[in-house]
Amino acid sequence: MIRIHKPKTPPEKLAIDGKQKRRSHCISYSRNPSAYETGTKKFEFDRSIYAHKTVKQALIKAQHQKCCFCERLIGTDGDVEHFRPKQAYKQANGEALKYPAYYWLAYEWENLYLACTGCNQRHKQNLFPLQNPTARANNHKEKIEQEQPLFIDFGKENPEEFIGFRGQVAYAIEGNHRGQVTIDSLKLNERALPESRLQHLQKLKRLNEILLLASHRQNDLELQEIVVEIKEDLKKYISDNAQFTAATRCAINSDFQYVIS
């Protein structure tokens, strides 16, 4: 996970149609809050607005075609993910869904990201834990500023201050609780992710070994030419638009000591 920099101005579809839809949802809730709170009445969200092609394209560009959670390159195949769930939420896995969720944020630009299907539909889903669940904003009249989310908001915070990597394994920096919750909830050390990271880092480690060899063979001009190319490649691998950027930066900073060959 790395910091995501989205344009401050939301896509027009959200600014116009999304704003109107938000107003409609808020009016509906105010007319019959108990029906929405019991889940007997549910909001009908318009995917053609929050997942409109202009919205998705803006997210793809801002996130360099990567999943906001696992940093896999997903191109145009990702889902438009709501950081704060729109319909229902859970404080923890295993709990029953609670209604309503953050319906008034369903079309808000700051609440939308691009995620792969695995992260979005199988792991995060409706999960949104808070440090203090009693401080949760339960409707549009309450303020989310009172909340302390346990998930890292990568559009407002730098995930690399919370989560580091020892080789292919993600860990919470200095025992950071929010980092650990994010790792555990999103299964960042499970699925096929560690193996994919390891394969990626092993390739980079081999390039680094060539650099070390070259440092002792300064008179080998052909090898020195290769060194220039490798250094340029490594710069690309630590840029925001590369796959597994956070893990790569940690591996390079630690001289690949945690990357098994």
With a cut of 90, say whether residue 15 has pLDDT above it.
yes
Q: Which two structure tokens, joined as six digits, stand for 255?
A: 């001289």
User: Contact, 67 vs 115, CB < 8 A?
Assistant: yes
E strands within 83-145? Answer: 112-115
Average pLDDT of the residues of the chain: 95
Q: How are the residues of the chain apportioned to helix, strand and coil, as percentages rounded to the nearest 5?
A: 50, 10, 45
User: Contact, 170 vs 163, CB < 8 A?
Assistant: yes
What are the residue boundaries of the structural domains of the chain, listed by start?
Answer: 12-150, 193-253
Q: Which helix (H) or strand (E) holds 171?
A: strand 169-172
pLDDT at 244: 98
pLDDT at 225: 84
In angstroms, the CA 110 to CA 46 distance is 17
pLDDT digits (tens, 9 = 90+) for 89-134: 999 999 999 999 999 999 999 999 999 999 999 999 999 999 999 9
In this structure, the number of other CB atoms found within 10 A of the CB of residue 208 comes to 18
User: Contact, 1 vs 156, CB < 8 A?
Assistant: no
- Give the contacts of 131 (CB within 8 A, at least 6 positions apart): 148, 149, 150
- What three-state secondary structure class fits 82? strand
